């Protein structure tokens, strides 16, 4: 309230300002957890605002567990090094296996020092590294070592900035979710899966936006099924078996918008059915085009 009062007369301030308790109730406090060990461990008391395991250390998982239990928007800060995920599956929740990001607990930002300096490694033990039902933002980080997709986002909001997904089974499963990938690289995947697999189950659509990013080294760069929204800006999809695939047109077609984007240098022709908004500067190599999509 000090800021409001400092810009008004004291009389105005006293008459117009809401009671302080209302402001405090509506404010989302931000909690920051600084991770100080590379090993995997569980939080001793989720929701107490202290992300410490039984030994008093703050692991990545302990920080996420406490963030999940707090309604606030939270930030987890990682240093240089490799943070491993290796507690075997038991309960299926955030205390073991992959790192679950719960819905309804505010947003979570996990921040490293760049994808070369900071890595989260699933060590090929689990299907995924992150399982996102809530809101997750990854910044300046590398995610590796998932048997299947590095990140599964079901009904969540996922943002990836200045980061890299590499050496996973695949990249991201998007189901009824909103995903934004900016200044990032997704590469080096195992055969058999799309790097970004966009679907929906409920009649709602998923939306995926890539900005200044690269997808390469996989079976399929982006595969979409049902009427999803795909936005591509200054993005390159290359050196995959297939760059873009609309897998099941009878179930609906996507709306694709692209600008300054290259889908080329993939082994097989790409398939872009449905509505295509060409904002210019694109180079696509497509096998079939409808509704104004270009074929070159
Ligand atoms: Ca705790
Ligand atoms: Ca939270
Ligand atoms: Ca888990």
Output the CA 59–ligand 1 centroid distance in Å.
11
Burial (CB < 10 A; 0-12, 13-18, 19+), residue 172, is buried
Answer yes or no: is pLDDT of 24 > 60.
Answer: no
Digit-coded pLDDT (tens) for 47-63: 999 999 999 999 999 99
Tell me if residue 62 falls in helix, strand or coil.
helix
Which among 3-7, 172-176, 186-190, 285-289 has the top mean pLDDT?
172-176
Answer yes or no: is pLDDT of 151 > 80.
Answer: yes
Q: In the prediction, which pLDDT does 2 show?
A: 35
Q: In the prediction, which pLDDT does 294 show?
A: 42
Domains of the chain: 30-289 (2.160.20.10)
The values of phi and psi at residue 205, to 5°, are -105, 160
Name the pTM for this structure.
Answer: 0.87
Output the CA 271–ligand 2 centroid distance in Å.
40
The bound ligand whose nearest atom lies closest to the alpha carbon of 61 is 3
Q: In the prediction, which pLDDT does 46 show?
A: 96
Kindly list the protein residues that place their beta carbon closer than 5 angstroms to ligand 2, a single-atom ion.
67, 70, 74, 105-106
Joined together, the tokens standing for residue 146 give 């998932």
Q: In the prediction, which pLDDT does 261 show?
A: 96
């Amino acid at each position: 309230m000090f800021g409001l009062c400092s810009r008004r007369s004291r009389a105005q301030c006293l008459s117009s300002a809401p009671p302080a308790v209302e402001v405090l109730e509506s404010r989302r406090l931000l909690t920051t957890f600084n991770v100080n060990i590379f090993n995997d461990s569980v939080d001793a008391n989720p929701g107490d605002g202290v992300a410490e395991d039984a030994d008093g250390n703050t692991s990545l998982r302990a920080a996420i567990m406490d963030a999940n239990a707090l309604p606030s928007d939270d930030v987890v800060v990682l240093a240089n090094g490799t943070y491993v995920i290796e507690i075997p599956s038991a309960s299926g929740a955030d205390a073991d296996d992959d790192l679950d990001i719960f819905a309804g607990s505010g947003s979570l930002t996990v921040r490293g020092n760049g994808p070369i300096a900071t890595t989260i490694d699933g060590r090929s033990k689990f299907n995924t590294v992150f399982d996102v039902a809530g809101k997750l933002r990854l910044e300046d980080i590398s995610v590796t070592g998932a048997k299947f997709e590095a990140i599964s986002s079901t009904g969540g909001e996922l943002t990836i900035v200045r980061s890299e997904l590499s050496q996973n089974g695949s990249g991201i499963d998007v189901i009824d979710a909103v995903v934004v990938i900016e200044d990032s690289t997704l590469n080096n995947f195992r055969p058999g899966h799309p790097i970004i697999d966009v679907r929906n189950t409920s009649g709602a659509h998923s939306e995926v936006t890539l900005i200044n990013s690269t997808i390469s080294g996989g079976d399929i760069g982006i595969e979409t099924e049902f009427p999803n929204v795909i936005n591509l800006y200054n993005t390159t999809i290359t050196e995959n078996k297939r760059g873009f695939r609309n897998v099941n047109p009878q179930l609906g077609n996507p709306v694709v918008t692209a600008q300054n984007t290259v889908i080329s240098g993939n082994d097989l022709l790409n398939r872009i059915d449905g509505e295509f908004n060409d904002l210019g500067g694109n180079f696509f190599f497509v096998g079939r085009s409808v509704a104004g999509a270009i074929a070159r």
